[in-house]
């Protein structure tokens, strides 16, 4: 297992293309200045000992050397042992509504994007808990099974959009039923379900599913995304808004938060309801409630005994930079015989 002790240093790699472009520009300017000095054939004879390829080779050595030094600063580490570590935490499943109504922008930048930002911040605060993600609209699908891999959770979260489910609508009951099947183990006393939606339960079976979840010991929290006044649902094409969703009569459809339904579902699930706003996404309040729950012990496989490998990269980088320092721009007779650079004699 490979990881970096200081991954922030890897951002310095973005500077290398700038250095390379500056180096190429310098060589081009040098060539132009050389041609302005006088007769071309005479200048070639006077500079016969200069290599046209070596400057490019020296530039490549510097670039590779700096890349290796930067990688060394980030300190690559290799896990040498896979062990089962005992943790105590709560299993959390996030059920995220991705119906078209979640595109409404009464909560900026949109209900869905704000929800994804909130989930990302929640993942950052988790330590010993496990998390799973379910997406739902007219149907529900498992986006990410229960895991302790928070990096994978963020990766899967970034791919979520309204177009990954073909069946539109909002079936909260289906999301709850699938969540109950997705929890690991038979002991549901340490499991929490967080439903993030605008609450427009088209199928109307959310309360019945919440009752089943309560009987199984799963706590349900709901977060309402949207406002009571509602907002139109924008229609985008190639990243540009072209219209709003309209009904059969041609009137613009307003999507409103169904707060009473979400309050009933959270009450049935022994959890809390939080209404999200532009200033508060509500997940902090939910996370506070989850932290009060009894924790359960579970084992997870993790790599331990990480060993530093920065010395190899630092050494290789310094060797390349020293090679560049001692390598001259003059032609070498023995290299000329080998013709490594493919130069014309």
**Residue 264: per-residue pLDDT:** 95
pLDDT at 128 over 90: no
189 pLDDT tier (thresholds 50, 70, 90): confident
What does the pLDDT average to over 98-115?
A: 94
Find the helix packing angle between 54-73 and 310-326, rounded to 10°. Answer: 160
Q: 63-72, pLDDT tens digit by residue?
A: 999 999 999 9
Q: Where are the domains of the chain?
A: 2-75+309-338, 84-300
**Residue 81: per-residue pLDDT:** 61
What's the pTM? 0.65
Write down the CATH number for the domain with range 84-300: 3.40.50.410
What does the pLDDT average to over 239-267?
A: 93
Q: How far apart are CA 306 and CA 6, in angstroms?
A: 14
**Residue 109: per-residue pLDDT:** 93
**Residue 341: per-residue pLDDT:** 45
Secondary structure (DSSP) of 32-59: HHHHTSS-HHHHHHHTTTB-SSHHHHHH
For residue 158, report the phi and psi dihedrals to the nearest 5 degrees.
Answer: -65, -20
Q: Which residues contact 207 (CB under 8 A, 6 or more apart)?
A: 261, 264, 265, 268
**Residue 296: per-residue pLDDT:** 77
pLDDT at 225 over 90: yes
β-pairing verdict for 240-244 and 234-237: antiparallel
What does the pLDDT average to over 271-294?
A: 91
């Amino acid at each position: 297992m490979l990881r970096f002790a200081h991954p922030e240093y890897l951002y310095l790699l973005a500077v290398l293309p700038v250095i390379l472009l500056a180096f190429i520009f310098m060589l081009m300017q040098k060539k132009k200045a050389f041609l302005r000095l006088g007769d071309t054939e005479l200048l070639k004879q006077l500079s016969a000992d200069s290599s046209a390829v070596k400057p490019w080779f020296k530039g490549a050595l510097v670039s590779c050397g700096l890349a290796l030094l930067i990688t060394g600063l980030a300190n690559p580490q290799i896990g040498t042992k896979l062990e089962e570590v005992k943790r105590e935490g709560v299993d959390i499943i996030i059920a995220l509504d991705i119906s078209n109504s979640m595109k409404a922008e009464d909560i900026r930048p949109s209900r869905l994007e704000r929800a994804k930002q909130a989930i990302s911040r929640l993942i950052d605060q988790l330590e010993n808990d496990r998390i799973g993600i379910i997406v739902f609209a007219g149907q529900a699908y498992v986006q990410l099974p229960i895991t302790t891999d928070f990096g994978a959770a963020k990766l899967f979260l970034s791919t979520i959009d309204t177009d990954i489910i073909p069946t539109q609508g909002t079936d909260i009951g289906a999301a709850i039923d699938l969540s109950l099947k997705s929890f690991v183990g038979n002991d549901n006393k340490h499991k929490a379900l967080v439903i993030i939606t605008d609450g427009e339960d088209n199928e109307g079976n959310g309360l019945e599913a919440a009752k089943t979840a309560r009987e199984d010991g799963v706590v349900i929290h709901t977060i309402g995304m949207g406002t009571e006044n509602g907002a139109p649902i924008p229609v985008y094409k190639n990243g540009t808004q072209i219209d709003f969703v309209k009904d059969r009569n041609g009137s613009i459809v307003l999507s409103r938060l169904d707060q009473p339904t979400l309050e009933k579902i959270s009450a049935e699930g022994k959890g809390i309801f939080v209404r999200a706003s532009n200033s508060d996404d509500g997940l902090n309040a939910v996370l506070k409630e989850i932290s009060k729950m009894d924790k359960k012990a579970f084992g997870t496989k993790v790599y331990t005994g990480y060993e530093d490998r920065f010395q190899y990269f630092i050494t290789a980088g310094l060797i390349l930079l020293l090679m560049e320092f001692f390598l001259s721009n003059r032609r070498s007779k023995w290299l000329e015989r080998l013709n490594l650079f493919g130069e014309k004699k």
